[in-house]
């Protein structure tokens, strides 16, 4: 189900969005928000330890991370959002509120795993985890633990969205995709197609890695 080959980091060699931390690209509020995000990790504040372990394994299958750099704490970011009671401001009519949906969904995923494989989701090998997530995405899981919530609705409208948003909310992911973070207060000047401001990441073009590296070492 999930391709573990990640190439994004090779498109912007030597680019580190955090090199902008003390420069004119970000204001104090941006620095404050990002510093808090970087501090997240460790154990859960909202989930139980068992739920958090399941979530960590789910995140590893939905957004597999490359080797050779610190991992993005996806589960901790989702946990923090729920701990703070942050809401998207809307929800699908077939889903309960975020906190309830997550608790029901993780409990049901473990129930399905126990029923089919006699082991919790976090104890399964990757291929079995992928099988369960695929069946969830297809709406094929219907254990009573779902409490009437459609498994495919939870996967597509809550689980996958929260996990992916958490991943790309982190500066490590920003560096991988060449994003400069919030454009405040500096903003952007060169707004035409394929134009690049000096404080934006340079992408490798025509195989010229060295040229992109030279530019990215000076991004501030």
Write out the residue range of the structural domain in which residue 125 sits: 8-216
- Whether 9 has a pLDDT exceeding 80, the answer reads no
pLDDT given for residue 106 in this prediction: 98
Whether 1 is covered by a domain: the verdict is: no
Domains contained in the chain, number: 1
Whether 161 is covered by a domain: the verdict is: yes
Whether 211 is covered by a domain: the verdict is: yes
SS (HEC) of the chain: CCCCCCCHHHCCCCCCHHHHCCCCCECHHHHHHHHHHHHCCCCCCCCCHHHHHHHHHHHHHHCCCCCCCCCCCHHHHHHHHHHCCCCCCCCCCCCCCHHHHHHHHHHHHHHHHHHHHCCCHHHCCHHHHHHHHHHHHCCCCCCHHHCCCCHHHHHHHHHHHHHHHHHHCCHHHHHHHCCCCCCCECCCCCCCCCCCCCCCCCCCCCCCHHHHHHHHCCCC
pLDDT tens string 91-121: 899 999 999 999 999 999 999 999 999 999 9
Whether 31 is covered by a domain: the verdict is: yes
Whether 123 is covered by a domain: the verdict is: yes
Whether 3 is covered by a domain: the verdict is: no
pLDDT given for residue 193 in this prediction: 83
pLDDT tens string 76-98: 999 999 999 988 888 899 999 99
pLDDT given for residue 6 in this prediction: 42
pLDDT given for residue 181 in this prediction: 87
pLDDT-wise least confident of 18-22, 42-46, 166-170, 183-187: 183-187
Whether 122 is covered by a domain: the verdict is: yes
pLDDT band at 191, cuts 50/70/90? Answer: confident
The closest alpha carbon to 84, from 34, 132, 44, 137, belongs to 44
pLDDT given for residue 184 in this prediction: 80
| Average pLDDT score, the chain | 92
Whether 2 is covered by a domain: the verdict is: no
């Amino acid at each position: 189900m999930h391709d573990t080959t990640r190439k994004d980091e090779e498109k912007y060699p030597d680019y580190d969005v955090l090199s902008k931390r003390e420069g004119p690209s970000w204001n104090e509020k941006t620095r404050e928000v990002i510093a808090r995000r970087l501090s997240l990790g460790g154990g859960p504040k909202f989930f139980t330890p068992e739920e958090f372990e399941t979530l960590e394994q789910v995140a590893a299958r939905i957004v597999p991370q490359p080797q050779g750099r610190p991992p993005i704490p996806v589960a901790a970011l989702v946990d923090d959002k729920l701990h703070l009671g942050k809401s998207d401001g809307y929800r699908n009519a077939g889903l309960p509120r975020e906190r309830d949906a997550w608790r029901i969904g993780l409990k049901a995923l473990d129930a399905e795993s126990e029923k089919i494989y006699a082991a919790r989701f976090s104890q399964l090998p990757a291929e079995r985890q992928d099988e369960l997530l695929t069946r969830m995405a297809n709406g094929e899981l219907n254990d009573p633990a779902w409490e009437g919530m459609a498994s495919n609705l939870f996967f597509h409208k809550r689980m996958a969205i929260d996990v992916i948003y958490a991943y790309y909310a982190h500066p490590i992911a920003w560096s991988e995709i060449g994003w400069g973070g919030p454009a405040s207060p500096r903003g952007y000047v060169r707004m035409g197609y394929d134009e690049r401001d000096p404080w934006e990441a340079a992408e490798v073009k025509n195989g010229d890695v060295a040229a992109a590296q030279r530019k990215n070492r000076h991004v501030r």
